[in-house]
Amino acid sequence: MKPDFREYISENVALCDGAMGTMLYERGVYFNRCFDEVNLGDPDVVRQIHEEYVRAGAQIIETNTFGANPFKLGKFHIADKTKEINVRGAELAREAAGEDTWVAGSIGPLGIKIEPWGKTSLEEARDAFKEQVCALCEGGVDLFILETFGDINEIHQAIDAVRQLCDLPVIAQMTIKEDGTSLYGTGPEIYTTRLTEWGADVVGINCSMGPHAMLETLEQMAEYTNLPLSVMPNAGHAKSHDGRIFYLASPDYFAKYAHRFMRAGAHVIGGCCGTTPEHIKAMASVLRMKQFSGAHRESQTVRANGNGRKQPLEIGAKSKLGHSISEGKHVFTLEITPGRGWNLEKTLSKAGRAKEAGFDAVNIPDGPRASARVGVMATAARIMQEVGIEPILHYVCRDRNILGMQSDLLGLAALGLPNLLLLTGDPPVMGDYPKSTPVFDIDSIGLTNLAYALNCGIDIGNRTIGTPTGFLIGVGVNPTAVNVDLEIERFYWKVDAGAEYAISQPVFDPGALLSYIEKTSKYMEERGLEPIPIVGGIWPLQSLGNAEFLHFEVPGVTIPDWIMKKLQEAGSKEREQEIGMEVAKKLIDDILPYVKGFQFATPFGRVKPAIELMEYAKDKIRVRLQEP
């Protein structure tokens, strides 16, 4: 009979099995099929693989359930089989394990991004893991292996899911890059400390890298925990040849590293992608020959590792715009869309007119409607340097992955460009190059979390960056969204993530904006958040065609029928422009008491109407201030 797992690994090394996916692939189960579903479709194949690992000397075998969560199974339209697949996976492993081998429930990432980087909440992620944990427990597992996680926030939810449902041992493993950091850039000193704090019984690393990189990282991890360590490397890097996948690290190579892993502090050793029963057999021979003792790991001091988080700057200290917002003043910004070519003379000229007219800042859209234009970073930097008016740099998630976004944000801080408007971005199908590839690694909520973390001196990997950034974080809101309730909820999460002000889509229905502000304020106050200032978007319509374009082709913009009817009855282009200005001034009158400023668009590059509207709004404010 096998001993208590926790007691055993406190003084011994336990050998885990190798890859399941590699073995299934070799038996003709290809990548277009759900590997986890094989538990139901071809159970004998799964059972046979387990039995081969047991014969090779594995003391722990993992269930074939790495991707058996509702999100990943949903891609194969079998999310409703989550329980059945997990229960059967545990039963198959149990049948092969016999009396002497531990069965570990394998749980991997959900295959989606969770908050703060994605729209899936921590609670939703935890519930998905719980569904898997319950089923694996019902199937009879002895412990859990949480493996191949790149995001420590996600593995935290997986650990919590196990801890809330049972007291079985947990091996928690991150996947790493060559430098030892996780896929999100989190260093060994951070994820080792966190996994220890969160209640794992064993902390470790697996997948992505071969034995050499794993050993170097394992040695670093040993400095930050007194828990047993685990390591399960790939058989080197995958190679493709004639449509087949090969791994080149041999069983003998793994045998050499098994001893090195043990000396570095590993109490659980196994293999990941590319490893086979032959690799496990080779490691079993070495581990049997080497007498394990507690002296294998040199004495160490576990270094306390605080999260390094600092208090961000007050809004008023971030920029002139931030100072005005912090004092409750109305702010006025002019939107200037960069040109399609590299020459910025016209853009700089418009920015100069904005400064002379008394605008607080100029807004620089980032590829609006998925168009290809000169980069916003270069545009904003030249406006700041050559014109001297503060830019608000729009930044969208469409075109860069999360690492590129962090690099850009750090670059903006280095250039002294603190004012941001963070947006998800329009999909490429709307723009000039509809076949270009969108990224959308995260959305505007995740990007707000990222910018706020940098303001606290922490990067996406929870590492300190030295001096924190000082971004003034703005976000977009859409009062006329098709699903207003969802828009309000998303706005709440943006504020919760660190947004400090918002700019609305162009407003043409004051009632919709006022209703949105009222509902949003109530929603936030009920959840303990203070509402943030909203700057109203004003678009001076230039023609009926301009209105039709906005209404039918620009996401988030809705123009009421009464405005359309007035434009249709105008009779001339001059009258259409007059109506556009009349509508804009009436909107300013209606929403002035409820917003903290205005952003004025410049349709067709025309700055004059925006200047006239700003002066009109300022006159209205002066009158209000003089009223008793």
Kindly tell me if the per-residue pLDDT of 290 is higher than 60: no
Q: Is residue 2 part of a domain?
A: no
Question: Angle 152-165/188-197 helices, nearest 10 degrees?
Answer: 20
Q: Is residue 569 part of a domain?
A: no
Whole-structure pTM value: 0.74
Q: Is residue 232 part of a domain?
A: yes
- The pLDDT score that the predictor gives to residue 307 is 53
Is the domain of 60 the same as that of 202? yes
Is the domain of 259 the same as that of 352? no
- Cβ partners under 8 Å of residue 76, min gap 6: 34, 37
C-alpha span between 121 and 489 (Å, rounded) = 12
Q: What is the pLDDT of residues 444-497, one digit of tens each?
A: 988 999 999 999 999 887 789 999 999 999 999 999 888 899 899 999 989 999
Which two structure tokens, joined as six digits, stand for 457?
């001196």
- Cβ partners under 8 Å of residue 291, min gap 6: none
Query: What are the angstrom distances between the C-alpha of 182 and each of 235, 463, 574?
Result: 19, 11, 60
Q: What percent of the chain has pLDDT over 70?
A: 93
Cβ–Cβ contacts within 10 Å for residue 369, how many?
Answer: 15
Kindly tell me if the per-residue pLDDT of 293 is higher than 60: no
Is the domain of 198 the same as that of 76? yes
Is the domain of 252 the same as that of 392? no
| Residue, of 115 and 240, whose pLDDT is higher | 115
Of 20-24, 67-71, 99-103, 228-232, the least confident? 20-24
C-alpha span between 430 and 490 (Å, rounded) = 23
Q: How many domains does the chain have?
A: 2
Q: What is the pLDDT of residues 373-394, one digit of tens each?
A: 899 999 999 999 999 999 999 9
Cβ-contact 495, 524 below 8 angstroms: yes
Q: Is residue 555 part of a domain?
A: no
Is the domain of 397 the same as that of 354? yes
Is the domain of 326 the same as that of 274? no
Q: What is the pLDDT of residues 411-425, one digit of tens each?
A: 999 999 999 999 988
Is the domain of 403 the same as that of 255? no
Kindly tell me if the per-residue pLDDT of 43 is higher than 60: yes
For residue 275, the one-letter residue type is T
Nearest Cα neighbor of 166 from 119, 118, 133 is 133
Is the domain of 282 the same as that of 330? no
Cβ–Cβ contacts within 10 Å for residue 603, how many?
Answer: 19
Q: Is residue 528 part of a domain?
A: yes
Is the domain of 435 the same as that of 537? yes
Q: What is the pLDDT of residues 196-231, one digit of tens each?
A: 999 999 999 999 888 988 999 999 999 999 999 999
- The pLDDT score that the predictor gives to residue 302 is 36
Please give the residue range of the domain that contains residue 79: 13-296
Kindly tell me if the per-residue pLDDT of 618 is higher than 60: yes
Q: What is the CATH number of the domain that holds 142?
A: 3.20.20.330
CA dihedral (495, 501, 506, 512) positive or negative? positive
Kindly tell me if the per-residue pLDDT of 248 is higher than 70: no
- The pLDDT score that the predictor gives to residue 472 is 98
Give the confidence band of 310 by pLDDT, cuts at 50, 70, 90. Answer: confident
Location of structure tokens 């995260």:
442
Cβ–Cβ contacts within 10 Å for residue 541, how many?
Answer: 26
- The pLDDT score that the predictor gives to residue 439 is 83
Q: Is residue 366 part of a domain?
A: yes
Give the confidence band of 538 by pLDDT, cuts at 50, 70, 90. Answer: very high
Is the domain of 488 the same as that of 613? yes
Query: What are the angstrom distances between the C-alpha of 295 and each of 11, 44, 229, 265, 288?
Result: 10, 43, 15, 10, 17
- Cβ partners under 8 Å of residue 143, min gap 6: 5, 60, 102, 103, 104, 105, 168, 169, 170, 171, 201
The average confidence (pLDDT) of the chain is 90
Is the domain of 332 the same as that of 401? yes
Is the domain of 117 the same as that of 160? yes
- The pLDDT score that the predictor gives to residue 304 is 34
Where is the domain boundary, 296, 312, 333?
Answer: 296
Cβ–Cβ contacts within 10 Å for residue 401, how many?
Answer: 13
- The pLDDT score that the predictor gives to residue 555 is 72
C-alpha span between 227 and 194 (Å, rounded) = 12
- The pLDDT score that the predictor gives to residue 196 is 97
Give the confidence band of 292 by pLDDT, cuts at 50, 70, 90. Answer: very low
Cβ-contact 393, 419 below 8 angstroms: yes
Cβ-contact 515, 487 below 8 angstroms: no
- Cβ partners under 8 Å of residue 263, min gap 6: 296, 297
- The pLDDT score that the predictor gives to residue 376 is 92
- The pLDDT score that the predictor gives to residue 450 is 92
Kindly tell me if the per-residue pLDDT of 305 is higher than 60: no
